[in-house]
């Protein structure tokens, strides 16, 4: 198992890519910290991991709340004594064209998708430095590489996450800490449940593989990057988009 014994914190882990990553990490032997705003989503993930024989603990965490993050980190260290991997997966969308976007829409997405990544990483980095080891994995997006109509706030946040990733790779590499980003394309997550079928079909037609990614396919990439198989991968920004941006 590629993550045997590693203590891995995953934000936004109650659904979608975060949930798939939590379950995959557990199957690979990790001790998983399931963080989310939704307690009703946290408990089933923790339970599923336990039933399968894995180790997991859940925390109600708002990534904009430094006190909640600090309490979670302290609890994890008390329980398992270390932190090996942080997956900064939590994020939201609040789309609108620039001319119609409200300041509240802009600030909310930046606070969660960008500042939240900073908050969580800041909370674990001293522990990783003390260990002389650690992995920081940041959820960016193809939107963070190329922009997207109606997503000024989201694109800014995801571009910013790439900036974090490259900066931390330079600053922390000498400390034994790797930092990488994953840029998913279209992924079949619950956020698409209310979309019209014709919209989803249009998304599929843009992808050379003619389908959306499954959350488990993104989780597989996070698993590789979190593992020692990626021991010399640092500062990478990896597109996982089925060829969408070719």
User: Residue 46: what pLDDT?
Assistant: 98
46/202 Cα distance (integer angstroms): 35
Give me the CATH number covering residue 79. Answer: 3.40.50.720
Domain assignment of residue 37, yes or no: yes
Q: Which residues contact 185 (CB under 8 A, 6 or more apart)?
A: 142, 207, 213, 239, 240, 241, 242, 244, 245
User: Residue 100: what pLDDT?
Assistant: 98
Domain assignment of residue 243, yes or no: no
User: Residue 185: what pLDDT?
Assistant: 95
Domain assignment of residue 21, yes or no: yes
Q: Which residues contact 43 (CB under 8 A, 6 or more apart)?
A: 58
239/220 Cα distance (integer angstroms): 13
Q: In 3-state terms, what secondary structure has residue 153? A: helix
Domain assignment of residue 23, yes or no: yes
What is the dihedral sign for C-alpha 132, 133, 138, 142? positive
The tally of domains found in the chain comes to 1
User: Residue 63: what pLDDT?
Assistant: 98
Q: Please give the structure tokens belonging to residue 154.
A: 């989201």
Confirm if 224 and 25 have CB atoms less than 8 A apart: no
User: Residue 190: what pLDDT?
Assistant: 81
Domain assignment of residue 200, yes or no: no
Residues tagged active-site? 154
Query: What is the mean pLDDT of each successive set of 10 residues along the chain, which is 246 residues long?
Result: 97 98 98 98 98 98 98 98 98 96 98 98 98 98 95 98 98 98 94 80 92 97 98 98 91
Q: Which residues pair with 32 in a beta bridge?
A: 8, 56
Give the closest residue to 58 by CA, choosing from 4, 13, 112: 13
Domain assignment of residue 194, yes or no: no
Domain assignment of residue 219, yes or no: yes
Where in the sequence is the domain holding 64, given as residue range(s)?
7-180+215-237
Domain assignment of residue 66, yes or no: yes
Say whether pTM exceeds 0.85: yes
Query: Would you call 78 exposed, middle or buried from its count of C-beta atoms within 10 A (0-12, 13-18, 19+)?
Result: exposed
Q: In 3-state terms, what secondary structure has residue 196? A: coil
Q: Please give the structure tokens belonging to residue 91.
A: 């994020």
Residue entry with tokens 């990733």: 165
């Amino acid at each position: 198992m590629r993550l045997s014994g590693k203590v891995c914190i995953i934000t936004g882990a109650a659904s979608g890519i975060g949930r798939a990553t939590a379950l995959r990490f557990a199957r690979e032997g990790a001790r998983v910290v399931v963080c989310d705003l939704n307690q009703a989503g946290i408990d089933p993930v923790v339970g599923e991991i336990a039933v399968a024989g894995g180790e997991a603990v859940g925390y109600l965490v708002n990534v904009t709340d430094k006190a909640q993050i600090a309490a979670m980190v302290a609890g994890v260290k008390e329980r398992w004594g270390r932190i090996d991997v942080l997956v900064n997966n939590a994020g939201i969308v609040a789309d609108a064209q620039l001319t119609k976007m409200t300041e509240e829409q802009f600030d909310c997405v930046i606070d969660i998708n960008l500042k939240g990544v900073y908050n969580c990483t800041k909370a674990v980095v001293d522990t990783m430095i003390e260990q002389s080891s650690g992995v920081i994995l940041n959820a960016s997006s193809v939107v963070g590489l190329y922009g997207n109509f109606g997503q000024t706030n989201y694109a800014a946040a995801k571009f910013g996450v790439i900036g974090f990733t490259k900066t931390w790779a330079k600053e922390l590499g000498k400390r034994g800490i790797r930092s990488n980003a994953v840029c998913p394309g279209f992924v079949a997550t619950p956020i698409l449940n209310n979309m019209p079928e014709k919209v989803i079909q249009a998304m599929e037609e843009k992808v050379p593989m003619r389908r959306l990614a499954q959350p488990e396919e993104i989780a597989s990439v996070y698993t590789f990057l979190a593992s020692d198989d990626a021991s010399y991968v640092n500062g990478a920004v990896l597109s996982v988009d089925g060829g969408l941006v070719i």
